[in-house]
Structure 1
Amino acid sequence: MNNKLTWPKIFLFGDSITQLSFSQDGQWGALLADYLQRKCDVINRGFSGYNARWCKFVLPQILGSDDAASVAAVTIFLGANDSNDGDLNPSQHVPLKDYREDLTEMVQYLQSIGIQRERIILITPPPCDEDAWGEECKKKDKPMSKSNTLTELYAKNCAKVAIDCGTQCVDLYKAMIKSEEWKEMLCDGLHLSQTGSHLLFTLLQPVIDKLTSDVVFKFPLWDKVDYMNPKVSLCSANTSS
């Protein structure tokens, strides 16, 4: 008999804002993992610089039908690169219509392998601080190809895809831009600072709570273990606290 326990999984899928989600500044993924200790595994599948056009080819290679039963949630967090100006940055830019279609295709793929639409969370790209990101581009001798006007348009379309597909949506753009201090939520004008990461975690928390409400805490707390006969506490069918 195989008595191995498995933990439900939360997949974080996206670009550099996801790849950096366990870093000191962009720590929203780490905050989520800490919050779900002994309940869920939080898996980072972020790819710096990637856009929705590329990610739709990556997704089937990291999530398949054999994973579906263990998936508690999947976040799709794309748009920061797609919304680059097409003339100034054609390699990362994805036209708005294609961006919507690519997001839709990814949602449909996840559903086709058995992941319910309620477990799919689209996150809109954050606002862009053009001055701060422009300085970063100068340091790297790259053209400044981002604008907050374009980013807002992609964020709105991301939210619309969520409505059309019936998935969850965390509208990070909308939540940030209504704050007078939204620029402080970015560490370089594009990526999340600790403040921005905490905001995203706060927005995700109630959604994740609902999706993991039936997930039990794995193994009893140490002071609940029968120290005279630990096997009874640790090898029984009931492993929750």
Structure 2
Amino acid sequence: MVGPGRPQIVLFGSSIVQYSFSDNGWGSTLANIYSRTADIILRGYAGWNSRFALKVLDKVFPKNAVIQPSLVIVYFGGNDSMNPHPSGHGPHVPLTEFIDNMRKIGEHLLSLSDKTRVIFLTPPPMNERQIERVFGDAMSGRSNELCRPYVEALLNLCREINVKGIDLWTAIQQEDDWLNICFTDGIHFTAKASEIVVKEILKAVREADWKPSLYWKSLPVEFPFDFDVPNSISLCDLNLTRNKQLESQPGTARL
């Protein structure tokens, strides 16, 4: 491996995760923010549901690994909540099975080490008209009505198994004109939606009672910024302020 060793933050999920490093996505933004403090590792699989995730869980997160992740951020549910296909095939997973799968995923990740933390992201809302325009009948089984019960059940599970849950369903809908500015195709995120996701993740990590803290400002910076070489601008100050737009302002609800 490349050294020195850093905390590992793994993003695990379906296309919302796989595409998170493109077009100013939330994964690439996290990698930028944690660039001197932790490694952001991508394990995203477009089209997958929680049933598929269980099949590879031991391979992606083996319990005998020498180094275990410090944080795993998990997203499944959007594909699971699609209407069952008449053929019996397709990504749909019944709600009760989805919650059972997510419980098993959460419990497995928490068992990796006593320092491994877990965050579940809920499915976000979607722009149904945009989906129809972009995909036609290919995505006709998606709707906010079908998805919402999966959001509510997942948040209840998070409280039950003591996993942090981030309610993207609500966070995105708090944005003005969210239907028109948050999706590239009705499902996947624009840069604006990814910004919301990053703010919610940073807020959750900052407020978590985790020891050690995994908030980016609390982690040790790898190597000195300048090795005492004089600079016209402080590289340390520059690093602390370059993501200022993601910091909370007094009186705001989100980080």
Indicate the TM-score class for this superposition, using the shorter chain for normalisation: 0.7 to 0.9
Give the alignment partner of residue 147 of structure 1, picking from 143, 148, 156: 143
Aligned to 1:96: 95
1:54 lines up with 2:52 in the alignment? yes
Q: State the number of aligned residues.
A: 220
Misfit runs of 4+, over 4 Å: 66-70
Aligned to 1:206: 203
Aligned to 2:7: 8
- Specify whether residues 7 and 70 from structure 1 end up closer, same or farther in structure 2 by C-alpha distance, changes over 3 A only: farther
Q: CA offsets per residue over residues 167-186 of structure 1, 9 Å max, x none?
A: 11111111112334221211
Please say which of residues 65-74 and 211-220 is displaced more in the overlay. 65-74
Q: Is the 8 A contact 1:125 1:172 kept in 2?
A: yes
Q: Is the 8 A contact 1:11 1:45 kept in 2?
A: yes
- Using the size of structure 1 for normalisation, the TM-score is 0.84
Q: Is the 8 A contact 2:70 2:115 kept in 1?
A: no
Q: CA offsets per residue over residues 105-159 of structure 1, 9 Å max, x none?
A: 0011112222557x10000011011100112222xx6251101111111111111
Q: CA offsets per residue over residues 31-54 of structure 1, 9 Å max, x none?
A: 101011110000010000000011
Which one-letter code corresponds to 2:45 in the other structure? F
Which one-letter code corresponds to 1:191 in the other structure? H
CA distance in 2, matches of 1:180, 1:189: 16
Aligned to 2:152: 156
Q: Is the 8 A contact 1:13 1:75 kept in 2?
A: yes
Q: Is the 8 A contact 1:75 1:123 kept in 2?
A: yes
CA distance in 1, matches of 2:20, 2:63: 26
1:125 lines up with 2:88 in the alignment? no
Which one-letter code corresponds to 2:214 in the other structure? T
- Specify whether residues 165 and 124 from structure 1 end up closer, same or farther in structure 2 by C-alpha distance, changes over 3 A only: same
- Specify whether residues 143 and 65 from structure 1 end up closer, same or farther in structure 2 by C-alpha distance, changes over 3 A only: closer
Q: Is the 8 A contact 1:73 1:208 kept in 2?
A: no
Which one-letter code corresponds to 2:223 in the other structure? F
Give the alignment partner of residue 222 of structure 2, picking from 201, 204, 218: 218
1:169 lines up with 2:165 in the alignment? yes
Q: Is the 8 A contact 1:130 1:146 kept in 2?
A: yes
**Unaligned stretches of 5+ in structure 2?**
231-255
Which one-letter code corresponds to 2:221 in the other structure? F
- Specify whether residues 174 and 115 from structure 1 end up closer, same or farther in structure 2 by C-alpha distance, changes over 3 A only: farther
Q: Which structure 2 residues correspond to residues 97-116 of structure 1 after superposition, within 5 A?
A: 97-114=96-113, 116=115
- Specify whether residues 116 and 174 from structure 1 end up closer, same or farther in structure 2 by C-alpha distance, changes over 3 A only: farther
CA distance in 1, matches of 2:65, 2:31: 19
Please say which of residues 50-59 and 204-213 is displaced more in the overlay. 204-213
Q: CA offsets per residue over residues 218-241 of structure 1, 9 Å max, x none?
A: 100025369xxxxxxxxxxxxxxx
CA distance in 2, matches of 1:206, 1:148: 26
- Specify whether residues 84 and 129 from structure 1 end up closer, same or farther in structure 2 by C-alpha distance, changes over 3 A only: same
CA distance in 1, matches of 2:112, 2:104: 13
Structure with the greater relative contact order (CA < 8 A, sep ≥ 6): 1 or 2? 1
**Unaligned stretches of 5+ in structure 1?**
227-241
1:71 lines up with 2:69 in the alignment? yes
